[in-house]
Amino acid sequence: MNLTCQNSFAVRKEGEPGSLYLVATPIGNLEDMTYRAVRMLQECDIIAAEDTRQTRKLLTHFEIQPKQLFSYHEHNKGASGPEIIRYIIEGKNVAIVSDAGLPAISDPGSDLVRLAIAEGISVIPIPGANAALSGLIASGLSTERFTFVGFLPRDKKDIIAQLSSFQAAQGTLLFYESPHRVKKTLEIMQEALGDRQIALARELTKRYEEFVRGSIPQCLDWLEEHPPLGEYVIVVEGASKEEELREQNSWWQELTLEEHVKHYEDSGISRKDAMKKTASDRGVSKRDIYNSLLDK
Ligand code: SAM
């Protein structure tokens, strides 16, 4: 990406392109709509909505009469995205809204953002509700460092591969999940990440909002008694310091002995010292390394 600088509040001159506004909408509780979001949706020339039916309900509630409502979702983004960009270049201000929460988080809004930036268009956030961060802040798990993972892949093999890549990550992990997959996902998490503390945040901001906090097996037992309903954020404790250190100290595990020694030699030290370091990493004697390399 080339270096670009955007002054979001610069006054636009006649004939210049419009802007793309990313407007947050409530994730269940209409009181979470911000004053600024209402004003933006009232003032913009086009509202690009992931689900126009859902957005119409929201607009009706806030008595907003859209100038133009445009559909932009996963299945039409290839055609719809460039068309929206064309409107902006012609001078229209476009507000994008997703089904709920922040646009561009686990929805195609992020593709539109990239297209806009590539065209030098200002992309302006209008912040508000977000499910992952709402779940995190009330989870009781560390908020110091965290990774948003969003939806996991469908296949168990792919889920395990993805979770394994976070096995040693120390920050809290944030996932989105549907009610009919939440149990299966927790079982796979237990298998891939081991026993961790988690929080299941359900129906955030809505009447039946619920937080279930405990270990993965405890939460699975809970779900046996209370069948999953509504939308979920799964917040998972990060790896312990020991797990992270173990991972850092075994970076060489995929290497052959020769590759391991060569790695150190490439850093500029002698073969003898490289063998000494390799022996120390592997917890064996320098003689063992020497003999094994001779045998090859
Ligand atoms: N853009 C949204 C945001 O900012 O949070 C996320 C959209 S993503 C397509 C939808 C997923 O977010 C749901 O499957 C669920 O995992 C999570 N989610 C959305 N609303 C939620 C709520 N009220 N309570 C719990 N999870 C929610």
Which CATH number goes with the domain that contains 200? 3.30.950.10
In this structure, the answer to whether residues 222 and 146 fall within a common structural domain is yes
Is the distance from CB of 18 to CB of 10 less than 8 angstroms? no
Shared-domain flag, residues 166 and 270: no
**For residue 284, pLDDT beyond 90:** no
pLDDT for 63 = 98
Domain count, the chain: 3
One domain, residues 203 and 164: yes
| 210-215 vs 197-202, strand pairing mode | antiparallel
The residue among 233 and 260 whose pLDDT is bigger is 233
Residue 201 and residue 120 share a domain: no
If you take atom 7 of ligand 1, which residue's CA is the nearest one? 106
State yes or no: pLDDT of 168 exceeds 90: no
The three state secondary structure string of 80-127 is HHHHHHHHHHCCCCEEEECCCECCCCCCCHHHHHHHHHHCCCEEEEEC
* Whether 95 and 165 share a structural domain: no
Say yes or no: 80 and 112 in one domain. yes
Residue 130 CA to ligand 1 centre (angstroms): 7
State the CATH number of the domain containing residue 46: 3.40.1010.10
Cα–Cα distance, 75 to 292 (Å, whole number):
57
Is the CB–ligand 1 distance for residue 201 below 6 Å?
Answer: yes
Question: What are 49-85's pLDDT values in tens digits?
Answer: 999 999 999 999 999 999 999 999 999 999 999 999 9
The answer on 151 and 49 residing in a single domain is: no
Return the residue whose CA atom lies nearest to atom 2 of ligand 1.
101
Task: Looking at the structure, tell me whether residues 163 and 216 fall in a common domain.
Answer: yes
Predicted pLDDT at 170: 86
How far is the C-alpha of 201 from the C-alpha of 203, rounded, in Å? 7
pTM metric for this prediction: 0.84
Predicted confidence at residue 296, as pLDDT, reads 64
214, 113: one domain: no
Average pLDDT of span 33-50:
98
Asked if 46 and 79 sit in the same domain, the reply is: yes
What pLDDT is stored for residue 237 in this prediction? 97
pLDDT score at 93: 98
Q: Are residues 169 and 123 in the same domain?
A: no
- Residue 102 in this model has a pLDDT that exceeds 80: yes
- Whether 3 is covered by a domain: the verdict is no
| Nearest atom, ligand 1, residue 24 CA | 4
% of the chain surpassing 70 pLDDT: 98
Query: Domain containing 228: what range?
Result: 132-244
Please report the pLDDT score of residue 22 as a whole number. Answer: 98
Among 79, 96, 129, where does a domain finish?
129
Ligand 1 atom at minimal distance to the Cα of residue 28: 23
Asked if residue 2 belongs to a domain, the reply is no
Give 152 Cα–ligand 1 centroid separation in angstroms: 13
Average pLDDT for residues 99-114, to the nearest whole number? 96
| Range from 4-8, 55-59, 91-95, 248-252 carrying the lowest mean pLDDT | 248-252
